[in-house]
Chains A and B, each alone.
Chain A
Amino acid sequence: MSRILDPAVRGRRLGAGSRVGLGLAVGWLSLLVLLPLAAVALKATGQGWSSFWVALSSHEAFSAIRLTVLCSIGVSAVNAVMGTIVAWVLVRDDFAGRRTLEVVIDIPFALPTIVAGLVLLSLYGPHGPLGINWYATRPGIVVALLFVTLPFVVRTVEPVLLALDVDVEDAAASLGADRFTTFRRIVLPAIAPAIISGAALAFGRAMGEYGSVVLISGQIQDKTEIASLYIYRQIQDDDLAGAAATATILLVISLIVISLLGAIQGRTARRA
């Protein structure tokens, strides 16, 4: 609280130089981000709401958006569980390969998405050494989305677990709680907000993902065409208004789910 009231922290008034700087920065942000995004929203609604609804009630758009939402929900759920387990092992376990594991978590952020897709296709594609072929199937899409969203939950949960006081867990154990009870009653409430915010990040990323899915999905309409692939096809077909409509609904769903998760996160954080 004192930081907010401290005038030095709140900042000084703009001078002539900083005013020009702010103008340039806001101008650049507007030209690069705000105007283009506004153009998408205007294009989608530009010819009246009716054409917006026509674009959205098309069977192709509906099935692409439904597939995207379902895959993203599944991917967020898997991430919530696996990400927490991986974070737990990274913080609480001690073994020779732990530092390697830590590096592996960074790979999906550093690797180009198209390379991620190619790499996954080489293992889970038609000529993979395991004999699994998920090319042009939904499991293929899910694997690609799991790959690119891997770091989110791990990286949000890790610092919270590190800061957690182990004495409380010891006390619970000494009072006769078994490991699972200790985890459920002591650890989980503390890390739940972090798990949810990591899962929300993963959901947002999965909803818009393109590069890693493009190769493994096979881009089959009505079957493996997720929303970003569908929007790309609309752009190629010069249906910019349709593309804008699909993009807008995608964005709206993302925002709704992310703010819902934000609300749940706020409630669990208060309860903890």
Chain B
Amino acid sequence: MPEIASATRQRRSGLALRIVSVGYLGVLVVLPLIVVLWRTAQQGIATFAQTVTSPEAVHAFQLTAVVAGSAVVINSIFGVAMALLLARYRFAGKRWLNVLIDLPVSVSPIVVGLALVLVFGWRTGWFGPSLRDVGLKIIFATPGMVLATCFVSLPLVLREVLPVLEEAGLDQDQAAQSLGANTAQRLWRITLPTIGWALAYGVVISIARSIGEFGAVRVVSGNIGGKTQTVTLLVDQHAEQFEPGAYQLSVVLIALAALCIIAISYVRPRGD
């Protein structure tokens, strides 16, 4: 595909447009990143190591791993299951469901947090007080942060997997079924190999989105240092309080984002 494209490309774009594009992306994305990397380097490797290994940073990284990891696993299971249902079955309300699933991406993260507090808040939420009575704390605790992260990245896996399933159709699956394969065998031997790369792509973008979630988690977590503070919340605290460390933690997050981008470019051509 890129070969055909470059054959027709033939310098059709003027030099001026190239300069405008490179300049725009330079001042908007590249230059600011360089400044942060340079400032971090200036403050030295010792400061970097010290910040990243401080107890509050280690705790924040662990919490981010738990929250993002749980959300990615939940969304992957939900995404594949829902995609299978939408692609292979017919039922009432299917079209509505298809529209509703995209709703979370167009809601402000702050509103997501507010919505979860209104339902699960331990004082005045709809279910909060009764959940508290059975000893389950959602808001200002890890479960609420997982819910918030699930909410904001809900459709990412599904939207990658669904078109592949629709394209593949039911023939192979029905053939396997007629040959006596059970549901688990068909899922493992037919469905998963079919959606493999699309699923991988969806999982990578979900990981990036989940690690980076800030607004929704800020509202539901209560942002308690050393308890419910993820890495992005800690970066914000350092920056707002003018404490050192925001740049160093950001560099780690930039490195994680870079890893995700590399993984995406590795997965994407196969997915298409």
Contact = CB atoms under 8 A, between A and B. Distances in A.
Interface of A: 8-14, 17-18, 21-22, 24-26, 28-29, 32-37, 39-40, 43, 82, 85-86, 88-95, 97, 101, 103-115, 118-124, 128-129, 143, 146-147, 150, 162, 166, 169, 179, 204, 207-211, 214-215, 227-228, 231-232, 235, 240, 243-244, 247, 250-251, 254, 258
B215 interface: yes
B202 interface: no
Given A93-B12, A208-B106, A211-B109, A123 B31 contact: yes
What are the nearest 10 A-B pairs in CB distance?
A208-B108, A112-B212, A36-B115, A210-B215, A93-B13, A39-B118, A211-B214, A110-B257, A11-B90, A123-B32
A178 to B, nearest CB: 12
A208 B261 contact: no
A25 B88 contact: no
Interface string B158-198: 00000000100111001000000001000000000000000
B214 A143 contact: no
Contacts of A8: 169-171, 174
B88 A11 contact: yes
A169 to B, nearest CB: 8
B170 A12 contact: yes
Contact of B119 (A36, A91, A109, A114): A36
A89 B219 contact: no
A105 B116 CA distance: 32
Nearest to B217: A211
A133 B257 CA distance: 27
A247 B261 contact: no
Nearest to A228: B110
Nearest to A166: B8
Contacts of B91: 14, 22
Interface string B231-269: 010011001100000110010011001101100110000
B103 interface: yes
Nearest to A248: B111
Contacts of B265: 103, 106
A56 to B, nearest CB: 15
A101 B32 CA distance: 15
